[in-house]
Chain A
Amino acid sequence: MRNLWIFISKYNAFFLFVIFEVSALFILINYNSFQKATYISSSNQITGLAYQKVGQVTEYLSLATVNDSLARENARLRSELRSSFYIDTLTKKSIADSVYKQQYTFIVAKVINNSVNHRNNYITINRGSKDGVQKDMGVICGSGVVGFVVNTTDHLANIQSVLHKKTKVSAMLADTRDLGSFLWGDNLDPHQGLLIDVSNNVKPRIGEAVVTSTLSSLYPAGIPIGKISNLHAKEGGMFLNMEVSLAVDYSKLEYVYVVVNRLAMEQKQVEATRVKDE
């Protein structure tokens, strides 16, 4: 027993190293697979507060660009108003339209923490579960797709950005509506991404827009992702792969919209029963 004690105290550095290293790796692996260790993240009380305070200061520095982008978005929305279309029929009828039912609503939120230069990037916003934000909701901004919510606290939420090793967005080519998957390339360029698994008979052209597909339960269909910039990104074999230049400048995100899909639960339930049947 005494010898054992001498042995341990002689090599105490090694034993302490093993204990702490194993616990660190345990946290790392656990978080990656289940995203359970939510208390060590930028949406907990202390780190969230710190980011919020510094965000209030830096907000002033980017007011000009925010104004600019809001004005542009206003202009775009105004152009979609009924009043800005020329009506060429003479008769006017008002019909209580029951065909269209509101499926998506949007919660506006401000970005208080953001990064683009890591392998896995996350964004923190100042809306949380008390404002109706829940896990697995999509997040978009005025110019395109941003990511989806991975965890929430009462007043803050954490978003896994599109610029992440594990984010995959169901996408399609805007003109031909051919499906593919969008993911971030491995060269860590925050302005480039990859569209993969497009079937081989499609003939895409450079400059064609890539948008979210109709299959996703996270985003409405047709939200822009980017434009095709290069057709021969990697040898795909059975499928075509291409490079996409992203529509959103992620380093300048200020305001985002959380997508509340009223049918998301139903879609999940339906798809879950299908898996059980198989």
Chain B
Amino acid sequence: MSRTILINVLRFFVLVFFQVFLFKNITLYDLSIPYPYILIILLLPFETPNIVLFPVAFITGLTIDAFYDTPGLHAAACTLLAFVRISFINITVQKDGFDNDPEPTLSIMGFRWYFTYILVLTLIHHFFLFNLEVFRISELQYTFVRFLLSSLFTVFLMLLSGLLFYRKRER
């Protein structure tokens, strides 16, 4: 239990560091901006109670906001992400079949589930984030292209990180 908390706190600091000092400076053709920091929320254990999940998501968003000078923007998107995460897990996962605190990682859940999971949640998070940032109907088409390409980039990075920490386990 305490090991799980330690790992998640560590993951928080590492991902925020990479997001703020590395990915903030990466853009492909002024269109594609990756936000892989949402892994902090995606990789919390299944058993996380809602009363913990939402504050964690909110604080993660505010931390990113502090570095990006956009107070509230990422916090709003992350809170939505937490809500969608709960619904998605409720629909697709049976909680009884596991032994000790399972986490939604690639090694435990398998490629197909993990890919669908990060794809759906990234799309929703990015769509909300980009449209809230621009908040203008006249730029909708351009925002849509940015949203799609950024989601692609983020999903790619998250799959890479999933493979990087892949541990083969008995299922």
Contacts and interface: CB of A to CB of B under 8 A. Distances in A.
Size bracket of the A interface: 35 or more
Contacts of B38: none
Contacts of A190: 30
Of all A-B residue pairs in the complex, the 5 with the closest CB atoms, nearest first, are A28-B72, A27-B72, A24-B76, A117-B27, A24-B75
A30 B70 CA distance: 11
A158 B76 contact: no
Interface of B: 20-21, 24-25, 27, 30, 33, 50-51, 54-55, 57-58, 61-62, 65-73, 75-76, 79-80, 82-83, 86-87, 132-134, 136, 138-139, 142, 146
A143 interface: no
Given A17-B83, A118-B133, A25 B70 contact: no
- Secondary structure type dominating chain A contacts: helix
Contacts of B27: 117
B133 A24 contact: no
Given A21-B79, A117-B33, A28 B50 contact: no
B75 A27 contact: yes
A104 interface: no
B51 A25 contact: no
A67 to B, nearest CB: 22
Given A40-B72, A115-B68, 11 more contacts: A12-B50, A16-B50, A16-B54, A28-B75, A37-B72, A117-B30, A118-B133, A119-B134, A158-B69, A186-B136, A190-B30
